[in-house]
Structure 1
Amino acid sequence: MLYSASSDTKVFARGNPYELCRCTSKVVKQLWRPDASTTYYAVDLKCPMTKMRIPEALLTLLHVYYPQNGELSCMGNITPEFSFVDLHIDNGQDVLTTVVGDAEDCVKLWALYPPEPHNLDLYYSHVGQDSKFLNLYSRLEDGIFVVQTSEQTIYLPAGWIHAVYTLKGGLVPGTMWSTAESLSVTAGILKREIKAKTASYSLAVSFLQSCQVALESHNADLQQCVAREWCVFGKDIQQLARAEGQQWPTPLVENVSNALKEKYSSCPQCGRPIQAHVCRAKGKRGQ
């Protein structure tokens, strides 16, 4: 498996970020010589030669957003023994991840918690704090602990809160995607991120992707959910996009706005003409 470090690659030691890519060689070295005192691990490496497919059993249940080229990108982590990734949420997207090698080559222990309102509220009450798992595990509800080897692939629906401890080091390829079915969960995460002032446009992209594929579905309930959530988040998404230098409206915003205009004359949330939200998305004064 070919891994490629880039400007997106992040290297951590004991959960504290170091300058990007500076310590990648230490991560690779610790695959053979683990160091419990200072464990380095790398995340978000590119895997240009690796392809991952969504299992057919999932495709029959989900409306999946695909990029224009129709392929989901594969990213990878390098996690030596003793690596620990504290509680986090993967950007409001579904996740498929595995480990590379024989059953004895890489082993991980997962702590998984569903995105119920109680769990999400508790998690976001500790944004920016260290040792989230130690502080929250006794109060998070309906947790599941799973041991993963190369014989298993983990599928996480959008929004699941999770922490991962590496019992034996190895390579960890994975992919993520947005679905219509994850719309309400992704919207709930976006709402909490905005309130915590930690939201980024990448999270808004996940939300917009869910909106687009929901509007393309034949599910009237999902389509109405898009209209209601767009009424709530349209202005916030505009601010996030502009803060990161995105030209407004972005292509995803255009797609969602145009689809809403085709399907609705008035907003199911506030009752105003849907054109008011579309105009707002285009950065104009609403009606």
Structure 2
Amino acid sequence: MVWSVSRDTKAFTRGSSHEPGDWASKALKQLWCPDPSTTYYAIDLRCPDAFMRIPEALSASLHVYYPEDEILPCVGNITPEFSFVDLHIDNGQDVLTTVVGDGEDCVKLWALYPPEERNLDLFYARKGQDNKFINLCDRLEGGVFAMQGSEQTMYLPAGWIHAVYTLKGGLAPGTTWSTAESFTVINDIFKREVEAKSASYDTAVPLLQSCLVALRGQNADLQQRAARELCVALKDIRKLAEADGEQWPTRLAVDVSNVLKEKYSSCPQCGQPIQAHICRGKRKRGQ
């Protein structure tokens, strides 16, 4: 497996603040020479020659958004011993991750909390703050702790809040995906990210993906709910896309628009023509 490491790879240190540290090579070095005083780890490295497949036991019961090539993108983390990733949410998406050690097991300890309203309220009240796990672990409800070793795969349902401590260092390839079934959770998290002013267009992508597969499905109630909620969210999605330099409408937004037009002559939320929602503004020539 080849992992793509570049100067803009996100590398962090374990400490009171998770500010970007020096380049990811330090994290790679610490796989063999752990340093408990200043532990570097790197996240979201691209794995262009690798892919992960959703187990049939999961995919059979979910309506999954797949890219055109139907291969879920794989990313990887370099996590030396003593690495700690504080409480976070992966954009409300489902998560599949495994670990690989160097001659011995990589071992991780997970703290997992369901995306119930009280838990999300507590989490977002501390959005952007350090030491979230320390301050919230005795207040979050329904928590589960799990150990993960090499050749074991962890599945996190959509929206679960989680923190990870590495007991024995290693590499952690993984992937995320959006489903129709997770639309409500993804939409709730998107609203909270917007309110916390921490949203980007990347935050909106899972919402558009989930909406798309919901609209393509057979659940009429979910279709209408997705159409209504998207109407409310679109103003924020457009702003985020433009702020991030994306040409609006993005290709994903156009796909959603086309499916909406097949289902509805006008928006079930505001009554306006569907085309006016998504395709306000023109794509640049060649886009």
Shorter-chain TM band: over 0.9
Judge conservation of contact 2:113–2:162 (CA < 8 Å) in 1.
Answer: yes
Q: Structure 1 pair 268/135, CA: closer, same or farther in 2 (3 Å)?
A: same
Deviations 1:160-216 (A, max 9, x none): 100000000001000111111111100000000111111110111110011111111
Aligned partner of 2:222 in structure 1 is: 222
Matched letter for residue 203 of structure 1: T
Superposition RMSD on alpha carbons, in Å? 1.7
Quick one: distance in 2 between partners of 1:78 and 1:258? 40
Matched letter for residue 118 of structure 1: R
Aligned partner of 2:20 in structure 1 is: 18
**Displacement, 1:110?**
0.2
Quick one: distance in 2 between partners of 1:88 and 1:63? 24
Q: Structure 1 pair 220/7, CA: closer, same or farther in 2 (3 Å)?
A: farther
Count residues in correspondence: 279
Report matched runs for 1:56-67 at 5 Å.
56-67=56-67
Aligned partner of 1:105 in structure 2 is: 105
Deviations 1:203-253 (A, max 9, x none): 111100111111111111221121111121011111111111111111111
Aligned partner of 1:186 in structure 2 is: 186
Judge conservation of contact 1:10–1:17 (CA < 8 Å) in 2.
Answer: no
Percent identity reads 66
Judge conservation of contact 2:9–2:23 (CA < 8 Å) in 1.
Answer: no
274, 278, 281: which is aligned to 2:278? Answer: 281
Deviations 1:50-102 (A, max 9, x none): 22110011111111111112211110001000000000011221110000148
Aligned partner of 2:256 in structure 1 is: 256
Quick one: distance in 1 between partners of 2:236 and 2:195? 11
**Displacement, 1:105?**
2.1
SS of the equivalent of 1:193 reads helix
Matched letter for residue 27 of structure 2: V
Quick one: distance in 2 between partners of 1:207 and 1:119? 21
Judge conservation of contact 1:103–1:149 (CA < 8 Å) in 2.
Answer: no
Deviations 1:91-123 (A, max 9, x none): 221110000148942000000001111111111
Quick one: distance in 1 between partners of 2:51 and 2:199? 29
Aligned partner of 2:29 in structure 1 is: 29
**Displacement, 1:278?**
3.2
Quick one: distance in 1 between partners of 2:39 and 2:101? 21
SS of the equivalent of 2:52 reads coil
Please give the TM-score of this superposition, normalised by the length of structure 2.
0.92
Aligned partner of 1:210 in structure 2 is: 210
Please give the TM-score of this superposition, normalised by the length of structure 1.
0.92
Q: Structure 1 pair 7/253, CA: closer, same or farther in 2 (3 Å)?
A: farther
**Displacement, 1:266?**
4.2
Quick one: distance in 2 between partners of 1:186 and 1:255? 19
Which consecutive residues of structure 1, in runs of 5 or more, have no partner in the other structure?
none
